[in-house]
Structure 1
Amino acid sequence: MSSHASFARYDFAGRVAVVTGAATGIGRAICDAFALNGASVVNWDRVPGDLDAPHAPRHFAVDITRPASIEAALAATLDAYGRIDYLVNNAGFAGPTMPLDQYDPLEWQRVIDVNLLGTYHVSRFVVPVMRRANSGRIVNVASLAGKEGTPNASAYSAAKAGVIAMTKSLGKELAQTGILVNGIAPAAVETSLLAQMAPAHVQTMIDKSPLGRLGTTQEVAQLALWLCSDSCSFSTGAIFDLSGGRATY
């Protein structure tokens, strides 16, 4: 894996990025990358994460399944910064791994509520702010599961497939507004989540990868930054594969 020194550099000075679920993992890596390139970064999450870390983002408490908390965080963000240039809908969770017919219906609903409806709720509050500015970038973090369907992850696969379709729909809706909407579909990425899985399960994921490794949070962050940069100008409603060669389409 290449060092930070070889990553592309962007000038995001004066720009404001909101990242949901950025206490840790992919969301925090995206925040760090934005901050390193000059943006003001805000974490909308239930918890702040490590506030003593370098480039720690400003935190506003948000539960993306509770619209009132999103509305409050939006007001606080606009009060502090006056604008939102970039929204990265990253918050989500995988839910339990089990066959569909053994899945608890309430748990299935919770996975949909967070991953799909949460992304919808955050977007519906932020889009009007971007419309008024006639510019903005929305990046939705989907998953390879949403493209291909992961066995024993029916709720997560269905939710992320929904995020992919919503990304395509919203990208078309906003195509004439100066707002671009794109998605990222990562395969397995090396985060603390994987530490909770059996090593054999993680090895299975690695074995499925033509590149023979997991993705890194920095690699997801670099794609998110490109999608928000002026280098990306003719892609909207698109889903960008980040799977180490695993994706078949």
Structure 2
Amino acid sequence: MNLKDKVVVITGASKGLGKALAGILHNEKAKVIINARSREELAAARRETGAVTFLGDVTKENDIKKLAKFAVKKYGKIDIWINNAGIVLPHKEIEEIDPKLAHRVFEVNFFGTFYGSREAMKVMKTQKHGIIVNIISVSSLTGRALSSIYASSKWAVRGFTESLRLALEPKNISVLAVHPAGFKTTIFGKFKPKGYDQWMEVSYVAKKIVQNLKREKPKVELIVEK
């Protein structure tokens, strides 16, 4: 696919993988809109990537509705929607996990993807084409003893993604799942998992995702690892 003039919306894109994707896609001459909660971080990302910005919280359904409407009003369509926003908890035994934080992980990782996909598909059904990309994780492919909540949220996203793909395939809408192995990103904050220094660079992961989008027929399940 030639990405020139394709309208791409990326959630959670003021830093990390989302920002890296925005920069590469902008260089491919795509029309990129990035979303995040922080006005200051979005402004910095705009300067770095050249993307258009839209302030909003992926856990708030109305914010995502406004994001989709903004994209259509500005560019008339949405070709690609990338559900990238996500959070993780420090590694802990299950009995040590704060239930409120567990709920928050699902609100961002699962419901953020759900809201984004739902608004994207509404637009794409009308225009009769489109691609939804869900950034998941290799944690959705196996259990994780010390990362049970994060892994569970990604298992949920994986199940939703596969179901969404079946539902939208007859509508000429592709649904792609991306499963990166460990990569260096700001999502971890001060917490650094074991082996973090040997993980992939975020730019490498972003390049692999864009390379897949540029294929004549993108892989619907993309595992990104060294």
Q: TM-score of the superposition, structure 2-length normalised?
A: 0.91
Alpha carbons 2:19, 2:49 under 8 Å: kept? no
DSSP-derived class of the 2:57 partner:
coil
Root mean square deviation, CA, Å: 1.9
Displacement after TM superposition at 1:100 (Å): 1.1
Which entry has the higher C-alpha Rg, 1 or 2? 1
Within 5 Å, give how 1:68-83 maps onto structure 2.
68-83=62-77
Aligned length: 223
Q: Share of identical aligned residues, percent?
A: 26
Residue among 217, 231, 235 paired with 2:202: 217
AA aligned to 2:105 is V
The correspondence for 1:21, drawn from 12, 22, 41, is: 12
TM-score normalised by structure 1 residue count: 0.83
| C-alpha spacing 1:29/1:68, structure 2 compared with 1 (3 Å) | same
- Structure 2 residue aligned with 1:210: none
Cα deviation 1:141-175 (Å, max 9, x = unaligned)? 10111111222211110000111111111111111
Map residues 1-249 of structure 1 onto 2, 5 A cutoff. 11-47=2-38, 48-51=42-45, 53-193=47-187, 196-198=190-192, 201-203=193-195, 205=196, 213-232=198-217, 235=219, 238-244=220-226
Unaligned runs of 5+ in 1: 1-9, 207-212, 245-249
SS state of the match for residue 63, structure 1? coil
Preserved contact between residue 86 and residue 137 of structure 1 (Cα < 8 Å)? yes
Moved over 6 A (4+): none
Aligned in 2, Cα 1:150/1:124: closer, same or farther, shift over 3 Å?
Answer: same
Which string of whole-angstrom CA distances, capped at 9 and with x for unpartnered residues, describes residues 213-243 of structure 1? 311222222232234335225x4xx432113
Name structure 2 gaps, 5 residues minimum: none
Report if the CA contact (8 A) 1:17-1:85 is conserved.
yes
Greater share of residues in helix: 2
